[in-house]
Chain A
């Protein structure tokens, strides 16, 4: 039991903090604890949660994807234009197109990293500008508003099943798929290996290039999917949507305990990290704090999370003295 506690310490702490936060806000404004309000928080957080899970996979392998928001915008714009031109397109085709476009954009990132060997931060800095600019090029600078989008296109994210929005269900699906992938497949476990010790992973026969290709394509595909969901949910598509969103995504990962050095991170943690940010964003208007505080609070929380996580990750000196080893082993049994 104590071993379980130590292993999942970070997630338990985070869950407690999130619950505490919700209760604290609820104490100030009981309306926050209502079913509609909590449902609203979940719905709001769904997209962030999915994007954070995708980003986590990239960060696990010591990479980073700064182009996710631009990818989201471009994919969203593409399907919005599609809906404008072909309003009878069935929803699942739209979703497929969005995911495919996103995946392609992600694949381009992956190819530059894996085949050319350019560091991920440089590649995604470049594609961040390129993809964002392409939104403008593709749309001619126009705004696609809800009256130009097909009704079915717009309705999907607003449908509910068992009281929860489709957004939440899709996010849940993505989370489960991700957990299965990372926890129970060879490729998934291999990601942790590559992040932890790339040299050793190579010795084990893991193809680093293929992995990089995979994680960036995955990240792109999820961004693409979220592109459709975002555009449909808010009923608007224009060049600047989700501008700067990549920072929130990375923040969610960091708060959730994903280590920027690679090899450490869990699905639960990342979900909780996204939830934390979602609660904060939604709580502010309820307790009459101006939305202008959002960024500052976000920043403070990220810093706090990083400091706390670093403390937890700290590998102290080597355990040479027998008394030191006994102490460490004792703490884990």
Chain B
């Protein structure tokens, strides 16, 4: 074709610093910086290494689940039963502990229960073609219901100290890190590599943006979704094992309300509810933003439930502000 001589196609887009700056992750980093600065000014206890490390205990387990939830939301699914899976996992671990299990076997039990629960979710969603929001509302009741039936209003507290110490003590002294936090950072790195550098990650972005075209391109969409549900279940199981070890007991209302906090972590992190957009680094920064904001407010003696109000406002503002600014800056595109 003679047209070829008239134009050349560049290999990649010309880099513009403006695009870098307007990215969600950059904005989040600025928010994080603001949170740190504000809290440091408000309280001398904020920047204490040991206090900060203690805070990681409050969000690490949820953050681990958030990694899985991020991938699910990216492919336009959701799993609201994660907190219930944590509860059920904790129950199973309680029984395993009673039967005299060692810490590795307790963790294994947790993972196994999580995988089974996740697989059930995935089965209902992919084989029956049911919307994941409704399925996981059902399984959320089912799983937590089972925990309630078995436990009633009792609690299980018989856990071996070898198990609880693993979660309650530092695993390294300089810097002082907890096991759960270390796990979160490790998993975050793995997820980041997978999502951003492997074929698997590309497949997730394709499914999230256009599941029909993805299927027509030979991607086994339902298989991918099923795997993600199992993965999220496994992560919930892991979180359950870590949580149970940390608090040393199992109650039927364990992890109540976690699903909402986890979805907040994910959505604030830039993962679009419509699917196909967002990054793992964004989720990690968002975890820190939420965790440190909560910590700072706690130091200021703000009651937990009021902190929730602030987090709710933060969630809405974080989604609203870019939309409003974008509208003022850009003209609307074609329908």
Asked if A122 and B315 sit within 8 Å, CB to CB, the answer is: yes
B116 contacts chain A at the CB level, 8 A cutoff: no
Asked if A306 and B135 sit within 8 Å, CB to CB, the answer is: yes
A87 contacts chain B at the CB level, 8 A cutoff: no
Asked if A302 and B316 sit within 8 Å, CB to CB, the answer is: no
Beyond A64-B133, A118-B323, A130-B309, whether A303 also contacts B316 by CB under 8 A is no
Asked if B142 and A303 sit within 8 Å, CB to CB, the answer is: yes
Beyond A112-B316, A292-B149, whether A247 also contacts B137 by CB under 8 A is yes
In the complex the two chains form, what is the Cα distance from A134 to B135 in whole Å? 30
Distance of B128 from chain A, by nearest CB (Å):
6
User: How many inter-chain residue pairs (CB < 8 Å) link A and B?
Assistant: 132
Asked if B303 and A136 sit within 8 Å, CB to CB, the answer is: yes
Distance of B300 from chain A, by nearest CB (Å):
15
Asked if B141 and A296 sit within 8 Å, CB to CB, the answer is: yes
Asked if A296 and B260 sit within 8 Å, CB to CB, the answer is: no
Contacts of B100 in A (CB 8 A): none
Asked if B139 and A295 sit within 8 Å, CB to CB, the answer is: no
**B105-145 Cβ-contact flags toward A at 8 Å (1 or 0):** 00000000000000000001000111101110111111111
Query: How many chain A residues touch B (Cβ–Cβ < 8 Å)?
Result: 43
B168 contacts chain A at the CB level, 8 A cutoff: no
In the complex the two chains form, what is the Cα distance from A75 to B21 in whole Å? 43
B148 contacts chain A at the CB level, 8 A cutoff: yes
Chain A, residue nearest B145 (CB): A296
Which of A251, A293, A302 has its CB near the most chain B CB atoms (within 10 A)? Answer: A302
Contacts of B263 in A (CB 8 A): 125
Chain A interface helix/strand/loop/mixed: helix
Contacts of A130 in B (CB 8 A): 308-309, 312-313, 316
Distance of B331 from chain A, by nearest CB (Å):
16
Distance of A69 from chain B, by nearest CB (Å):
12
B273 contacts chain A at the CB level, 8 A cutoff: yes
Contacts of B142 in A (CB 8 A): 295-296, 299-300, 303
**B21-41 Cβ-contact flags toward A at 8 Å (1 or 0):** 000000000000000000000
Asked if B134 and A302 sit within 8 Å, CB to CB, the answer is: yes
Asked if A122 and B316 sit within 8 Å, CB to CB, the answer is: yes
6 contacts between A and B (CB under 8 A): A116-B320, A116-B323, A129-B260, A133-B306, A295-B142, A296-B145
> Measuring CB to CB, which residues of chain B are less than 8 angstroms from any residue of chain A?
124, 128-131, 133-135, 137-146, 148-149, 152, 260, 263-264, 267, 273-274, 303, 305-306, 308-309, 311-313, 315-316, 319-320, 323-324
